[in-house]
Amino acid sequence: MNPRVRFQNVRKSYGDTEVLKGISFDVFKGNVVALIGQSGSGKSTALRCINGLEEINGGELYVCDRALHEKDCDIAALRLQVGIVFQSYNLFPHLTVEKNITLAPRKVRRMGHKEAHELALHVLGQVGLADKANAYPEQLSGGQQQRVAIARSLAMQPELMLFDEVTSALDPQITGEVLKVIEGLARDGMTMVLVTHEMGFATAVADQIIYMRDGIVWEAGDGGLLKNPRTPELQQFISNGL
């Protein structure tokens, strides 16, 4: 089975600063991979490379059977296959929830009004907000807005979903509602890569946990990795509660 994501000795630099120092890992269809590590370890940069927001400087990167390291890679087509959700919701405040969700399918996929409306209700149902189609973002809590952002990405019917610390800007009390949505996507078989500081969530949901440090894959394993870390660096990371 071809992995949906394959990093092979990938390097990424900003000027003279090398952020990714030759990382390698695979993400297979239906799997959830959690990237963990301290700020500056390279995990968010790795995630942004997956959908072409960052261009790699060395190695090979394959995503959904596309070679991102080749100059002729069609990044626009790639982004139809890969959804990404950030910690900031980036919803249009002047549009209803439904219109926020249907904007891209109608413009990019040329979807008709009726089909887009039905799609919006479907993805809102997936995130538990079927009754909020006509609401405006300012009428929603932070957790609800983040769930709308997830629904908006799902509306593009991606093969792969990326989540970049999507709960870090949320109150701890409402973080759980967003994590439940991601758990549901995992149960439904969505292939996902997520950057997270929620260690318990990573242990419960991820098929593979990758601990990054100083721009390399320092340690990797299944959900039991955080219970039995092999290196003192990961032990310290866990004990610090980061």
Copy the structure tokens of residue 176.
């759980």
Residue with tokens 């990093």: 7
Distance between CA atoms of 85 and 101, rounded to whole angstroms? 13
| 213-226 pLDDT tens trace | 999 999 999 988 99
Residue spans per domain, the chain: 5-239
Architecture field, domain 5-239: 3-Layer(aba) Sandwich (3.40)
Distance between CA atoms of 20 and 216, rounded to whole angstroms? 6
* pLDDT value, residue 239: 87
Distance between CA atoms of 20 and 36, rounded to whole angstroms? 14
Mean pLDDT along residues 121-146: 95
pTM: predicted TM-score of the whole model, two decimal places? 0.94
Task: Yes or no: say if 174 and 14 are a contact pair by the CB < 8 Å rule.
Answer: no
* pLDDT value, residue 1: 74
